[in-house]
């Protein structure tokens, strides 16, 4: 027996087929506990047991329905909607589409090609919780940067003194003191009226404890310097727009900070944390992002090549007749490859072997992105080995050829 579920927001269509492809049952269930109960009863009527559960294909990997299906030993397959659309053409050329028909297509995908699809990983609850928190924190960081870009673009049109005051500092306009000072003076006219005492008070409210007087005097000079100005009415209107953006930016910065604290707390409780943190360039937040994407199901990937392909670091070959092309992958886990770029960049200054490997690829005429991707491909393979064998990263074993070269030269 094989089951396909076409997922929707308020209801789901279910189809059950046997080995011959005969439709045995179809049902529309609601997206609530009553609907889930009807689904389980329908499966039980057709031979579903805890010892031999019926496999299920669905076009999503999250949600309450998936959480209910993942209890026990049932294999649940999250089929990509684009892949399901390709299968739909096998059962009709008219391009017709319906929710019950899509459920039937999903059931037949398992019947014919279940071996070619991967079930949802059997990650622990803690690993799945880390996935939720790490992705939320990453989204908050991206949203924060988008708002900073909007603030910067607005400041260039009417308030260049604010850019001169904070743009060159770490975190720039997202700094607490920048947000506090510019919220108190959202226009050049109001900023020019701020006294040293008022600036010192704003810096203290932002949490600054050192160099307050010197910073206040520097800001006073910058705000009172000569810059081009918009008409007063336009400047005031833009000041209201800037204040509204800073309200959003403050909320996102607080959210990112609170999520980062939650990520750190959950990540350090995981048994894989020590292994991940032993790798050069991986801190708590970056290590949590890597763990969130690869999970802790040791049977999820068949070998290191599989995790490299999933991360998008392994090249892909397209060959036809006499033509052959080897290039980077476009179908990959974008969050994992993004974390890999940051990981490699940090590893270059923390691992002599990683730095030597990168430089060797550059000498072989790889561009920066190619060399960095090649380094990530090697390090994600090393991480897979360490997680499988439960051992910490060892620089001497990881980059043997590079660590042995200085000894031979000596």
The verdict on residue 123 lying in a domain is no
Q: Are residues 190 and 164 in the same domain?
A: yes
Same domain, 249 and 296: no
Does 45 map to a domain? yes
pLDDT higher than 90, residue 322: no
pLDDT score of 174 more than 80: yes
Q: Identify whether the C-beta of residue 26 lies closer than 8 Å to the C-beta of residue 14.
A: yes
- 65 found inside a domain: yes
Is there a single domain that holds both residue 75 and residue 147? no
What phi, psi does 55 have (nearest 5°)?
-70, 150
Give the integer Cα–Cα distance in Å for 315 and 103.
34
Instruction: Tell me the average pLDDT across 296-318.
Output: 92
Amino acid 329: pLDDT? 86
Q: Domain for residue 385, yes or no?
A: yes
**Residues 175 and 237 grouped into a single domain:** yes
At residue 400 the predicted structure's pLDDT band, cuts being 50, 70 and 90, is confident
Which pLDDT does position 242 carry in this prediction?
95
Say yes or no: 213 and 158 in one domain: yes
Q: Which residue has the higher pLDDT, 346 or 9?
A: 346
- Name the band, by pLDDT with cuts 50, 70 and 90, for residue 409: very low
The predicted structure's pLDDT at residue 248? 96
Name the DSSP letter for residue 57. Answer: E
| Segment 184-205 mean pLDDT | 94
Q: Tell me the torsion sign for CA atoms 36, 37, 43, 48.
A: positive
The predicted structure's pLDDT at residue 234:
96
Q: Which is higher by pLDDT, 91 or 386?
A: 386
Mean pLDDT of the chain: 91
Same domain, 344 and 366: yes
Q: How confident is the model at residue 162 (pLDDT cuts 50, 70, 90)?
A: very high
Phi, psi of 318 (to 5 degrees): -120, 115
Which of the 8 DSSP states describes residue 401? H
The residue out of 245, 265, 285 marking a domain boundary is 265
| Range with lowest mean pLDDT among 17-31, 85-99, 144-158 | 85-99
Which of the listed residues 60, 84, 116 is the one where a domain comes to its end?
A: 116
| CA–CA distance, 368 with 345 (Å, rounded to integer) | 11
More confident residue, 126 or 82: 126
For 91-137, what is each residue's pLDDT tens digit?
A: 777 778 888 999 999 999 999 999 988 899 999 999 999 999 999 99
Least confident of 257-266, 307-316, 399-408: 399-408
pLDDT at 401: 63
- Classify residue 112: in a domain, yes or no: yes
pLDDT of residue 399: 87
Give CA torsion, residues 383, 386, 389, 394, to 10 deg: 160
pLDDT tens-digit readout, 345-378:
999 999 999 999 999 999 999 999 999 999 999 9
Give the chain's domain count: 3
Q: 151 pLDDT exceeds 90?
A: yes
Strands (E), 214-348: 316-320, 323-327
Domain identity same for 282 and 402? yes
Q: Is residue 122 part of a domain?
A: no
Q: Which of 52, 87, 116 is a domain's end point?
A: 116
Q: Are 259 and 161 in the same domain?
A: yes
Asked if the structure places residue 270 within a domain, the reply is no
Question: Do 358 and 236 lie in a common domain?
Answer: no
Mean pLDDT computed over 33-60: 92
User: Looking at the structure, do residues 153 and 218 belong to the same domain, yes or no?
Assistant: yes
Do both 160 and 255 map to the same domain?
yes
Q: What is the pLDDT of residue 96?
A: 80
Q: Is the pLDDT reported for residue 283 higher than 90?
A: yes
| Secondary structure letter of residue 325 according to DSSP | E
Q: pLDDT over 90 for what percent of the chain?
A: 76
Q: For residue 18, what is the domain's CATH number?
A: 3.30.420.40
* 52 in a structural domain: yes
The answer to whether residue 406 scores a pLDDT higher than 60 is: no
Domain membership of residue 156 as a residue range: 129-265
Q: What pLDDT does residue 402 have?
A: 52
| Contacts of 219 by beta carbon, 8 Å cutoff, 6+ apart | 165, 181, 194, 199
Range in 61-70, 139-148, 152-161 with the lowest mean pLDDT: 61-70
For residues 332 and 362, membership in a common domain is answered with yes
| Backbone Cα Rg of the chain | 28
Give me the pLDDT at residue 324, please: 86
């Amino acid at each position: 027996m094989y089951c396909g579920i076409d997922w929707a927001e308020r209801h789901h269509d279910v189809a059950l087929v046997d080995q011959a492809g005969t439709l045995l049952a179809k049902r529309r269930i609601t997206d609530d506990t009553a609907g889930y109960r009807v689904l389980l009863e329908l499966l039980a009527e057709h031979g579903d047991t805890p010892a031999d559960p019926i496999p299920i294909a669905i076009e999503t990997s999250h949600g309450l329905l998936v959480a209910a299906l993942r209890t026990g030993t049932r294999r649940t397959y999250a089929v990509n909607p684009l892949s399901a659309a390709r299968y739909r053409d096998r059962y009709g050329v008219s391009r017709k589409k319906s929710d019950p028909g899509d459920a039937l297509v999903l059931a037949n995908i398992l019947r014919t090609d279940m071996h070619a699809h991967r079930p949802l990983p059997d990650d622990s609850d803690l690993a799945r919780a880390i996935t939720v928190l790490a992705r939320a924190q990453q989204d908050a960081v991206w949203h924060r940067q988008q708002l900073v870009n909007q603030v910067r673009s607005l400041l260039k049109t009417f308030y260049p003194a604010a850019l001169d005051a904070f743009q060159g500092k770490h975190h720039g306009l997202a700094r607490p003191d920048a947000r506090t000072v510019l919220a108190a003076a959202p226009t050049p006219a109001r900023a020019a009226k701020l006294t040293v005492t008022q600036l010192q008070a704003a810096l203290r409210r932002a949490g600054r404890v050192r160099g307050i007087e010197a910073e206040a005097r520097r800001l006073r000079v910058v705000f009172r310097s000569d810059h081009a100005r918009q008409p007063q009415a336009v400047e005031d209107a833009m000041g209201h727009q800037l204040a509204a953006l800073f309200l959003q930016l403050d909320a996102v910065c607080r959210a990112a900070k609170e999520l980062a604290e939650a990520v750190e707390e959950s990540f350090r409780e995981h048994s894989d944390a020590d292994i991940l943190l032993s790798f050069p360039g991986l801190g708590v937040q970056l290590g949590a992002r890597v763990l969130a994407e690869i999970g802790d199901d040791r049977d999820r990937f068949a070998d290191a090549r599989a995790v490299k392909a999933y991360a998008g670091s392994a090249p892909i070959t397209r060959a036809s007749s006499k033509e052959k092309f080897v290039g980077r992958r476009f179908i990959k886990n974008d969050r994992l490859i993004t974390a890999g770029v940051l990981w490699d960049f940090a590893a270059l200054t923390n691992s002599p072997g990683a730095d030597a490997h990168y430089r060797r690829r550059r000498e072989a005429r790889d561009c920066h992105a190619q060399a960095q991707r090649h380094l990530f491909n090697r390090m994600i393979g090393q991480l897979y080995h360490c997680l499988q064998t439960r051992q910490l990263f060892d620089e001497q074993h990881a980059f043997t050829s590079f660590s042995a070269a200085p000894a031979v030269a000596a």
